[in-house]
Amino acid sequence: MTTTGQRGAVEALLHRTLAAHKSMFLATAGSDGSWVSGVYFTERGPHELVLVLEERGRTLKAIRENPEVSLVVSTGSPMEPFLQARGTAVVVGGAEDELVRQALVAKVSEAGPFLATPVRAVKVAVPRWRVTDIPNGWLPGKDFGA
């Protein structure tokens, strides 16, 4: 497969995997130490994810202290395609908060009741992904960046 063809295959699997998942694992590190949370998300293309977090939660506190995050999009089985990345998280407000909420509930309808609780909208910029598909020989995974 050519480099261009391989990049296209990696990008296609990245898009399919993001679209197939409603939640991911988000890792943060702040003054309370490191922490991993399961969160609902939606994608705005391959390099931006949006989500909401509990206003008084450990994850949001850590992001405010240190915006660098890591994430995994996976079923939990290493034999199914999965995504890993590092990114930068930013808490958003105002009109952007409302856009994030609308986008999230459009993909994850069951998140609706959660949006009625004290939550804040967050954007995560993801410059580079690691896309792994062990059954198809992508171990180590393939990098996909902007």
Task: Please report, in tens digits, the pLDDT of each residue of the chain (146 residues total).
Answer: 447 789 999 999 999 999 999 999 999 999 999 999 999 999 999 999 999 999 999 999 999 999 999 999 999 999 999 999 999 999 999 999 999 999 999 999 999 999 999 999 999 999 999 999 999 999 999 999 97
**What single-letter amino acid sits at 104?**
L
Helix and strand totals (H; E) in the chain: 4, 8
What pTM does this model have? Answer: 0.94
CATH of the domain at 116: 2.30.110.10
CA-to-CA dists, residue 126 to 15, 61, 70, angstroms: 13, 20, 9
How many distinct structural domains can be found in the chain? 1
Provide the domain limits for residue 21: 3-145
